[in-house]
Structure 1
Amino acid sequence: MLVETIWEGKMSLVAGDDKGNTFKMDTSPKVGGDEKGVTPMAALLGAMSGCISMDTLAMLRRSVDNGEILSFRVEADGTQNDEHPKYFTDIAITLYVEGDVPAERVWGAFRKSEEKYCSVRHSLKADVTLNLVLNGKDTPELN
């Protein structure tokens, strides 16, 4: 999977996948942005809540009839570290479901997603390798 992020000036960025789907990121004016997109940290929360939503819906659709889920919404609320790096110290995921669906089925799917299936959740533990191409040339880090 490849995602390319392109700078559009100031602090505005557009990220897109290899299928042409895009989303815009920006930041507040106090750090040079125009707030015309989500922050990268908000995008991370959105990616996690989207992943959990898709997993949970897929599992529920196998066990309930069409029409039993009337609405489905996820909120992800992250608390960030006070100092840099301002990583998330806690993330609360709240699932809102309306419909004739047994609570134990919703909880089962919701919990399985967070514990086993949500790739975004588990990617937060990934090893990261840094590479630099400067003016068209691979550039190793000088120690």
Structure 2
Amino acid sequence: MNVQAKWLGGRAFTAVGPSGFDMSMDATAAYGGEGNGNTPTEMLLGALAGCIGIDITMILNPHLDQIKSIDIEVKGTRREELPTAFTAIEIVFTIEGEITPKKVWRAIRLGKDKYCAVSASLKADVHFSLMLNGVQVEEV
């Protein structure tokens, strides 16, 4: 895979990959940017949510008619010193529907352990939790 990034001036970049969609990035004002795009670290967490989300929907494909909604929140904890890399990441799945926790946890585990290229590429400890129909469900 090849992604090309082009400098737009200041701290702003735009990147495009094989899919052809633009990714706008900029630093916050604290780092000399103007906030005219997502920060690269925001994009990293978003990529993680998208990757694991795609994986679990593929795994749960036979049961998607039983699911009303899937929301994924990714919370990253970063080091204080440079580089301010993520040291821990928590992914919270909030799912509404008539599906068993066992099926959802199986999909999460498979996504994490076998399919999600983004999480497999990170050094941070990545932890998962599940809210199913408004109730936190422990891993089964």
Shorter-chain TM-score: which interval? Answer: 0.7 to 0.9
Q: How many residues align?
A: 123
Instruction: Please list, as runs of the form range in 1=range in 2, the aligned pairs for 1:1-143 lying within 5 A after superposition.
Output: 1-62=1-62, 64=63, 66-124=64-122
Matched to 1:101, the amino acid is I
CA distance in 1, matches of 2:24, 2:77: 22
CA distance in 1, matches of 2:73, 2:105: 16
Greater mean alpha carbon deviation, residues 67-76 or residues 48-57: 67-76
Cα deviation, residue 18, structure 1 = 2.5
CA distance in 2, matches of 1:119, 1:46: 13
SS at match of 2:4: strand
Cα deviation, residue 124, structure 1 = 2.5
Structure 2, gaps ≥5 residues long: 124-140
Cα deviation, residue 19, structure 1 = 3.3
CA distance in 2, matches of 1:101, 1:23: 35
Tell me the equivalent position of 1:131: none
Could you report, residue by residue, the CA deviation over 1:34-73 in whole angstroms, capped at 9, with x for unpaired residues?
Answer: 11211111111111111000000100113x1x53111111
Matched to 1:84, the amino acid is L
Higher relative contact order (Cα pairs below 8 Å, separated by 6+ residues): 2
Structure 1, gaps ≥5 residues long: 126-143
TM-score, normalised with respect to structure 1: 0.81
SS at match of 1:27: coil
Q: Which has the higher strand share?
A: 2
Matched to 2:12, the amino acid is S
CA distance in 2, matches of 1:24, 1:52: 22
Cα deviation, residue 118, structure 1 = 0.4
Which 4+ residue blocks in structure 1 deviate beyond 6 angstroms?
Answer: none
Cα deviation, residue 27, structure 1 = 1.3
TM-score, normalised with respect to structure 2: 0.83
